[in-house]
Amino acid sequence: MLDQDPSTPLNTFDISGSGGQYRLSWPNLYIWANVSLCKVMPDLSLSAEVEFLSQRPNANASGHVLRRRVNLSNPSAPYIKSLEDEDESLSWKHIVGQLCVAATDAYRRGAPEIEMVGQIQAAPEGHWLIKPLVQVGHPTLIYGEGSAGKSWLGQYLSVLVHEGMSASGLEVEQARVLYLDWETDLHEIGSRLAMIRNGLGLPEHTESGIWYKYMTQGLSSDIAVVRKIVLDRGVSFVVCDSLGSACMGEPESAEVVLKLFGAIRSLGVTSLCIDHTNKSDVLFGSVYKRNASRLVYHVKKSQREQDEEFEFALFHEKANNSRLVRPLGWSLQFDNSGGAATFTRRDVKKTRLEGEMTVKERIKNYLEESKGSQSIADIAEALGKANTHISKELSANKDMFKVVGKGLYETVKTEEEEWAAQSVAIPPVGATEWET
């Protein structure tokens, strides 16, 4: 028998977890239990899969004691007898009773109620894991046609989050990552992560530290297993690639999509969800995909034949509690000889994707690049739009454009832009040249 702390009662135990996945431990008895796959039966009783493990001297080498499906409302005598056969030195009837009551109460209670008493400070734009793409505790959805760079971006962001590395204009906090893959396999994802690490100049032989799971079922069907991984590995950022397969049902069905996002929400983590477009280049499936996501970005790509790089951009379509940001562009360059994939930020207005921007954004780009004010006719000719279309956009966006002469327009600079234009750049400490 292992030494016990005489100051702590033998029946003291701890419980952690949520959403039907719990872990109980009895520190003074050197045993613990995992409770999973909770299910409400027709008579409203609760059943679950229960696994007991032990570090006691008389347990077997693996620490496993017994795993069975148990009626938590009325555990059977044969089940308790099986535990006694494994280790007769413990009062299993009492331990099982504690587990059943605690797990049942936790499952039925769900998330605890919290009195809002002003302890949370106002944060209009929320807390960012990856600013300005992913907010902590909520799902971000990026979607686009096949081979648009969505998965590459998801893997790039996974590396940045794992490393806590801010790069290419993104402010990133560190977190443990789980990549759920319905699209490819471990070899392809592992190869891509290695290329991304090489492109970032990270050590080649260091483990990525990103947890990976090859998925074959819908997320809601496999949620207990995923929730256990999140709990066991301390994961707080999950990438779902991709939602169409994760639904494992009709993506047009509101019920299927709501069940999927309910499963994502039950993980209690930050998530990045990758999805596809339909033939009309709009988000495929139920409108609830968009409704359930906190931020939504449309990914578009430009690549010419034989190029060893391609450009892609994110066009911000939805934000619940932050501002819509201007399109974010990257180029992804492949160095096949060195096994590297390098992401470089690009100003979208200077890429082949400039034509994908909204008309008002293109007007702003044109006026900023032009020398002097421009007429409606000049703008229309440059953008290939009708005069009436340009006139409508200028009138509807007076916060962005102003009349400076008879029929001539310029952009309205924000306070930040005015300040930047009037300020003198100061070189960083130790710099020998001015940065431009």
- The domain total for the chain is 3
CATH of the domain at 269: 3.40.50.300
Q: Does 342 share its domain with 387? A: no
Q: Does 176 share its domain with 287? A: yes
pLDDT of residue 357: 87
Q: Does 67 share its domain with 206? A: no
Phi, psi of 286 (to 5 degrees): -65, 145
The Cα–Cα gap between 294 and 141 comes to 8
Q: Does 343 share its domain with 379? A: no
> Could you give the angle at which helices 387-396 and 376-383 cross, rounded to 10 degrees?
110
Q: Does 325 share its domain with 180? A: yes
Q: Does 346 share its domain with 366? A: no
Residue 114 lies in a domain: no
pLDDT of residue 118: 64
Q: Does 227 share its domain with 139? A: yes
pLDDT of residue 110: 79
Q: Does 179 share its domain with 317? A: yes
Q: Does 343 share its domain with 363? A: no
Q: Does 226 share its domain with 260? A: yes
For residue 390, what are the domain limits? 358-422
Closest Cα to residue 259, out of 285, 288, 294?
288
Q: What is the mean pLDDT of each run of 10 residues along the chain (436 residues)?
A: 48 85 91 91 93 80 84 94 91 95 91 68 75 95 92 96 94 96 94 93 76 94 89 93 91 92 93 94 93 95 79 93 88 87 92 88 87 88 91 90 87 61 41 34
Residue 103 lies in a domain: yes
Residue 116 lies in a domain: no
Where are any strands of DSSP class E within 215-264?
A: 237-241
Q: Does 144 share its domain with 261? A: yes
The Cα–Cα gap between 282 and 143 comes to 9
> Are 266 and 223 within 8 A, CB to CB?
yes
- Give the domain-ending residue among 302, 321, 350: 350
Q: Does 153 share its domain with 298? A: yes
Residue 117 lies in a domain: no
> Are 235 and 176 within 8 A, CB to CB?
yes
pLDDT of residue 274: 97
pLDDT of residue 434: 32
Residue 436 lies in a domain: no
Residue 9 lies in a domain: no
pLDDT of residue 345: 93
Collapsing DSSP states into helix, strand and coil, what is residue 133?
A: coil
Residue 399 lies in a domain: yes
CATH of the domain at 382: 1.10.10.10
Closest Cα to residue 160, out of 170, 150, 152?
170
